[in-house]
Chain A
């Protein structure tokens, strides 16, 4: 591709963004929706698991932590393939009819980022001063109230984990491609469009989506970097 073609594509992409091209908006919103549900599910599962691992002492704790840390690095295509084998019509979970649906992609992305949320939450709760637990207990807190108090103290680090997980889910390709199959109007999301539609001549759309993807990821990274300060501001730091 010549530099001239690239420049032309970039100009068209900016035009698509400025004019709010319907296809661009639809794909962007679908991507956000899919990843939002994935993060919601992953947080509901991952934060409590991470908190339990971080707060409790049990046999094999180190092994469990290592497993979750290892799972952070699972390639998205491998997880996508594994889910395909499970969810395809002849697979053991084929009856759920989740193949080629955004729900299927959301579940896949949730499975992808649960290890991130679990590991970060574990680390966040473990790194809180151990005396905080004694403090809560000596003020009369039950074990549950103590855990909640420690989690609240670790909230900015946990929020950071959730943002990082969203980042990962939003930018992943393998699961969206294998489970969603890039069906127009149904499962087409930003990453699958960028990966597949360029070859079909929709370069401007792909560049526009790449710009939006980068902007969102960039914004999330800024948010991640400042999350501690934001939390402190919300707490009215005197």
Chain B
């Protein structure tokens, strides 16, 4: 199995705060979970993988191409991130979902057609002309997912995609993500172990910006090796 991402001695600091500390990591073609307590550095790691942040030191390679400083724009064209709290342009649902396609030069008609299909797959048929910012939390997250999926990214990064959602919305979202993960790489940060088990094959456990343990998801959750991972899995501080 070839590596999609290779991170070498990655550190990320915000002033005096060390968010990630000397991470060396490979991510292959299997869907991967990034686990850890709040503040462990999960979102920072996802942002680095998305090309939204640059590391303070170290190198990131995506499919053998160095994307640490250069080629970031190329990376962003094939990697899309879904944020925990969805954010929208002050536009309609359709305009939000077609944005990524339009800047890629897709015609308005084709973009609208693809957006409608993506919305329908998330049970949002007929939502095209609604104002995105005025939808409910669950609807917003589904629109945000449609906006990401319509781009057919090679990698989909998900930061707590079902946090604060009711079970019905969470189920719809996870169904669509699971389907998508069959053809593309999905890297997800979530505290929902059930989702982690059903969606991912590989898991990384972070603590205070450091990798504590990596391994097959089932092994890491059911039979963790490190003390920190054991505490986390048992829900202890």
Residue ranges of A at the interface with B (Cβ–Cβ < 8 Å): 129, 131-132, 134-142, 145, 149, 152-153, 235-238
B28-55 interface with A by 8 A CB criterion: 47, 50-52
Please give the distance in Å from B156's CB to the nearest CB on chain A: 10
Please give the distance in Å from B90's CB to the nearest CB on chain A: 6
Given contacts A138-B52, A139-B100, contact A237 B131 (CB under 8 A): yes
Is there an interface contact between A142 and B73, defined as CB atoms closer than 8 Å? yes
Given contacts A129-B87, A235-B91, contact A140 B81 (CB under 8 A): no
Partner pick for B83 among A135, A136, A145, A149, CB 8 A cutoff: A135
Is there an interface contact between B83 and A131, defined as CB atoms closer than 8 Å? yes
Closest chain B residue to A139, Cβ basis? B100
Closest chain A residue to B74, Cβ basis? A140
Given contacts A132-B87, A139-B151, contact A145 B103 (CB under 8 A): yes
How many residue pairs bridge A and B at CB < 8 Å? 58
Question: Can you list 27 A-B pairs, Cβ within 8 angstroms, ordered by A?
Answer: A131-B87, A132-B89, A134-B52, A134-B83, A135-B83, A135-B89, A136-B99, A137-B76, A138-B50, A138-B76, A138-B80, A138-B81, A139-B80, A140-B77, A140-B80, A140-B100, A140-B103, A140-B104, A141-B103, A149-B89, A149-B99, A152-B89, A153-B90, A236-B92, A237-B131, A238-B92, A238-B130
Q: How large is the interface on B (under 10, 10 to 19, 20 to 34, 35 or more residues)?
A: 20 to 34
Partner pick for B51 among A129, A137, A152, CB 8 A cutoff: A137
Residue ranges of B at the interface with A (Cβ–Cβ < 8 Å): 47, 50-52, 73, 76-77, 79-81, 83, 87-92, 99-100, 103-104, 129-131, 134, 147-148, 151
Q: In the complex the two chains form, what is the Cα distance from A142 to B104 in whole Å?
A: 10
Q: In the complex the two chains form, what is the Cα distance from A152 to B88 in whole Å?
A: 12
- Chain B neighbourhood of A142, CB < 8 A: 73, 103
- Chain A neighbourhood of B80, CB < 8 A: 138-140
- Chain A neighbourhood of B88, CB < 8 A: 135
Q: In the complex the two chains form, what is the Cα distance from A140 to B111 in whole Å?
A: 15
- Chain B neighbourhood of A129, CB < 8 A: 87
10 A-B pairs besides A135-B83, A137-B51 with CB distance below 8 A are A134-B47, A137-B52, A138-B50, A139-B99, A139-B151, A140-B76, A140-B77, A142-B103, A237-B131, A238-B92
Is there an interface contact between B129 and A139, defined as CB atoms closer than 8 Å? no
